[in-house]
Amino acid sequence: MTYILAIDQGTTSSRAILFDAALRPVATAQEEFPQHYPCPGWVEHDPADLWSTVAGTARGVIEKAGIDARSIAAIGITNQRETTLVWDRKTGEPIHNAIVWQDRRTADTCGRLREDGLEALFTARTGLLLDPYFSGTKVAWLLDNVEGARARAERGELAFGTVDTFLIWKLTGGAVHATDATNAARTLLFNIATNEWDTDLCAALDVPLSLLPEVRDCAAEFGTTRPDLFGRPIPILGVAGDQQAATVGQACFTPGMMKSTYGTGCFALLNTGTDLVPSTHRLLTTIAYRLEGKTTYALEGSIFIAGAVVQWLRDGLKIIREAKETQPLAEAADPAQDVVLVPAFTGLGAPYWRPDCRGAIFGLTRNSGPAELARAALQSVGYQTRDLLEAMRADWGAASDGVLRVDGGMATSDWTMQYLSDILGAPVDRPKVTETTALGAAYLAGLRAGLCPDPAGFAATWALDRRFTPAMDSATRDARYARWGRAVAATMSM
Ligand SMILES: Nc1ncnc2c1ncn2[C@@H]1O[C@H](COP(=O)(O)OP(=O)(O)O)[C@@H](O)[C@H]1O
Ligand SMILES: O=P(O)(O)OC[C@H](O)CO
């Protein structure tokens, strides 16, 4: 038997999934790691945790499946995007904790760049906006705030990477400093039209070019693992940011196809083909994948809080013990109440982009309790997705087939997916394999290894688990969505 190992390094946990050559999942290992919040709005990961959980789960899954590492033909890596690391090229030692995508510490820097009139330039070249979400201002922060870092960077002693790059460096024992086009596209430093690091943008952010990794296709050679790690060197042949890997795993290869992944946050990507479609409705333009030097673009809507709102019910309010308890609670909620929760815990992402605003709850009565709050939390995911899809429709026109493919931990919630379909007024398709992120990474590696069919052949293997179709009348849908719009406007005015 031949296997492909997918490494999925996410925001709250690292996963390793072993697929067979037909891309059927064989075994999974998962390990959570601590989140660090050194100041309000700051989020960090210890690089040692990222590495130990990746190495541990990769070894663990091989052991669990009881296979010989020699039968693993290739490794695919997919990762939380934008999270920023800088390390010493000689020792491999990171100079600081990783600054996580959710971290808001560079909001002022973004504000200053915007005041200097630079947003249009950044958007035209990167497809992104000046928001602390992206890596560029995080790299600049590290160089300016870690003692001696800027001088070391100017001497060429330091390397920057998103999590994929850091893992490739660690897996190859420092032999390869590379990333793929999808991860590069999230840095604010990469020109997505020319597929090169942009010297003007690097200069505007004061990031020396010597820090940057080489940018490769998503299915390409990224070196081989250190022989001592798995008992033999294994080639790394696929790399993509997790949302792009999910787009591949969902086989959204045709322009107009769309997927939305519900993990900690929610990220909807619409394939726009080889057209780089600038957004005029505050979405991002990004690289969906790059294969054999050919770039396919996407419009992306990024929401920072989706499944995280359920974690808040569990860990913050302590009204549930497990995420799945939200479904019976939502079903039991009082139909006469209309509590609306705007979960802007870390600001609002697309299409509002308000890092400063914070969450709010509307419509509370003396009878409002855990059930009404749980229902409002699940409903907020539907409303936020509709915001994204409205913006996509406005940017892209009516070309999409109107079906949304969903995946991620929260897509297992039938109640949430039904409400999503109701509020979108469109079908929502959940595939049999919901680990689409890892599947996409495994496919990219398998493609390069010559084990997997071309995209059309892979798309034919996509299998439906369940289609959710709208069951809400349009007057109710419109009224609810309008109420959500008023709740967001009020939240932003606070
Ligand atoms: N049955 C469920 N109902 C509602 N939310 C759920 C359910 N199962 C998982 N979740 C949410 O999904 C998220 C986990 O999804 P996952 O794809 O593993 O996230 P990530 O990769 O961002 O860590 C958690 O935030 C959790 O609260
Ligand atoms: O780790 P996830 O699944 O929450 O994904 C994080 C995104 O890549 C951030 O852009």
Is 157 in contact with 89 (CB distance < 8 Å)?
yes
- For the record, the structure tokens of 416 come out as 């949430």
Q: Is residue 294 part of a domain?
A: no
Number of neighbouring beta carbons within 10 Å of residue 69: 18
The pLDDT value recorded for residue 477 is 96
Model confidence pLDDT, tens digit, residues 462-471: 999 999 999 9
Model confidence pLDDT, tens digit, residues 427-450: 999 999 888 999 999 999 999 999
- For the record, the structure tokens of 195 come out as 């597929």
- For the record, the structure tokens of 454 come out as 């071309």
Residue 338 alpha carbon to ligand 2 centre in Å: 30
The pLDDT value recorded for residue 399 is 55
Q: Is residue 183 part of a domain?
A: yes
Is 213 in contact with 161 (CB distance < 8 Å)?
yes
Q: Which amino acid is at 185?
A: A
> Which ligand lies nearest to the CA atom of residue 307 in the structure?
1
Q: Is residue 395 part of a domain?
A: no
Ligand 2 atom nearest residue 133's Cα: 10
Q: Is residue 303 part of a domain?
A: no
**pLDDT (mean) for 112-116:** 94
Q: Is 59 annotated in some ligand binding site?
A: no
Q: Is residue 29 part of a domain?
A: yes
The pLDDT value recorded for residue 160 is 98
Number of neighbouring beta carbons within 10 Å of residue 109: 18
Complex-level ipTM: 0.96
397 burial level (CB within 10 Å; 0-12, 13-18, 19+): exposed
pTM above 0.90, yes or no: yes
Q: Which amino acid is at 10?
A: G
Q: Would you tell me the crossing angle of helices 242-249 and 436-449 to the nearest 10 degrees?
A: 80
Q: Is residue 484 part of a domain?
A: no
Is 404 in contact with 258 (CB distance < 8 Å)?
yes
User: 51: domain range?
Assistant: 3-242
Model confidence pLDDT, tens digit, residues 29-86: 999 999 999 998 899 999 999 999 999 999 999 999 999 999 999 999 999 999 999 9
Q: Which residues line ligand 1 (CB under 6 A)?
A: 10-13, 263-264, 307-308, 310-311, 323-324, 326, 408-410, 412-413, 416
145 burial level (CB within 10 Å; 0-12, 13-18, 19+): exposed
Q: Which amino acid is at 137?
A: T
Q: What share of the chain is helix, strand, coil (3-state, %, to 5)?
A: 40, 25, 35
Model confidence pLDDT, tens digit, residues 115-124: 999 999 999 9
For residue 207, give the CATH number of its domain.
3.30.420.40
Q: Where are the beta strands (DSSP E) in 326-431?
A: 340-342, 360-362, 404-407, 428-431
Q: Is residue 336 part of a domain?
A: no
- In the chain, how many domains are there? 1
> Which ligand lies nearest to the CA atom of residue 408 in the structure?
1
Q: Is 70 annotated in some ligand binding site?
A: no
Model confidence pLDDT, tens digit, residues 366-386: 999 999 999 999 999 999 999
- For the record, the structure tokens of 372 come out as 């009404």
